[in-house]
Amino acid sequence: MKHQTFTHHDILSVEQFSRSDLSVIMERTDDMKRLVETKGGNDSLKGKIMTALFYEPSSRTFGSFIASMQRLGGGIIPIQGVSYSSVSKGESLPDTVRTFENYSDVIVLRHPEVGSAKIAAEFAQKPVINAGDGIGEHPTQALLDFYTITQHFPRISGLTITMVGDMYNGRTIHSLAKLLSLFEGVALNFISPDLLRVSPSLLTLLKERKTPVAEYENIEGTLGETDVLYVTRVQKERFSDLAMYEKLKHRYIVTPKMLFKMKKKSIIMHPFPRVGEITMDVDLDPRAVYISEQMRNGLYVRMALLSLILRKEQ
């Protein structure tokens, strides 16, 4: 199957990727990993500029996009906390995006509204990368999560992936589940309180793709069969009822005791920030890859994407 060309293309949703696109991105990610490990970077994006336009807080996505551009020799317009830009004067998203594309070659956008990246892309001539649109999607996180999983399980098919936490509001869950549904035989367990169950529309899509899905309220019964435990926080910023958030936030806490029930070769992931869902002593377990691998892979994947989008077809 021929993969799509990435040059000057938007990245808005994981739905745009085929398995062959994924292979191209994963191969380029391997190249970037090697590059960083051997030389730190290169000048392949010299003369290119990326605007990072973040309307919501971010540490890893923002930091790794900035580092990616700089490691490839490019420049950045970092806007984190739009209160310092004209957005605080009431400027619309289309106007802001059209402003910054005058100064840069790609716009990385994080915004609280679902569909915001798509709207930005409709107005912009330059490529837009969705760095999280509300409770919608987080496609670059899904790619780095996927890369992390393939480092341990190159075949993907046949895995059991257990996702824990806020299935309804967690955009990383939505993107990763859709991406994994491209692979036959990947079984998904969704574990959440009843109020935070995965949306019916995502369940329908997974059913159409014949992805085996199971939903549970308790974590314990799934640990023995799990290959990848993907833990998420309850998304406080999506709650209007903060008392409800307080009630739900620590419904699941992964502790070293629970790990005894897990396979020796399983891995534990978390997109971060964590706010108590995994105790710090779990970090010492070799199966915990969220700090040692997953975060760092964000750099390699984002370098790969910028390189594929901004360089002419090589």
Interactions with ligand ASP, residue window 223-242 (CB under 6 A) = 232-233
- Using CB under 6 A as the criterion, what x/- string covers residues 235-274 for binding ligand ASP? ------------------------------------xx--
Of 48 and 147, the one with the shorter C-beta distance to ligand ASP is 147
- Using CB under 6 A as the criterion, what x/- string covers residues 16-35 for binding ligand ASP? --------------------
CA angle, 85 then 88 then 89, to 5°: 100
Minimum CB separation from ligand ASP for residue 8, in Å? 25
Of 10 and 277, the one with the shorter C-beta distance to ligand ASP is 277
**Three-state secondary structure along the chain?**
CCCCCCCCCCECCHHHCCHHHHHHHHHHHHHHHHHHHHCCCCCCCCCCEEEEEECCCCCHHHHHHHHHHHHCCCEEEEEECHHHCHHHHCCCHHHHHHHHCCCCCEEEEEECCCCHHHHHHHHCCCCEEEEEECCCCCHHHHHHHHHHHHHHCCCCCCCEEEEECCCCCCHHHHHHHHHHCCCCCCEEEEECCHHHCCCHHHHHHHHHCCCCEEEECCCHHHHHHCCEEEECCCCHHHCCCHHHHHHHCCCCCECHHHHCCCCCCCEEECCCCCCCCECHHHHHCCCECHHHHHHHHHHHHHHHHHHHHHCCCC
State how far the Cα of 138 lies from the Cα of 141, in Å rounded to an integer.
6
Of 35 and 278, the one with the shorter C-beta distance to ligand ASP is 278
Report the residue number whose CB is nearest to ligand ASP.
271
Establish if 134 lies at the interface with ligand ASP (CB under 6 A).
no
Minimum CB separation from ligand ASP for residue 267, in Å? 18
Minimum CB separation from ligand ASP for residue 308, in Å? 22
Minimum CB separation from ligand ASP for residue 236, in Å? 9
Establish if 138 lies at the interface with ligand ASP (CB under 6 A).
yes
Q: Which of 51, 96, 172, 211 binds ligand ASP (CB under 6 A)?
A: 172
Of 209 and 238, the one with the shorter C-beta distance to ligand ASP is 238
Minimum CB separation from ligand ASP for residue 110, in Å? 7
Interactions with ligand ASP, residue window 73-132 (CB under 6 A) = 132
Q: Which of 171, 174, 178, 251 binds ligand ASP (CB under 6 A)?
A: 171
Minimum CB separation from ligand ASP for residue 272, in Å? 6
Q: Under the rule (CB under 6 A), what is the footprint of ligand ASP?
A: 132, 138, 171-172, 232-233, 271-272
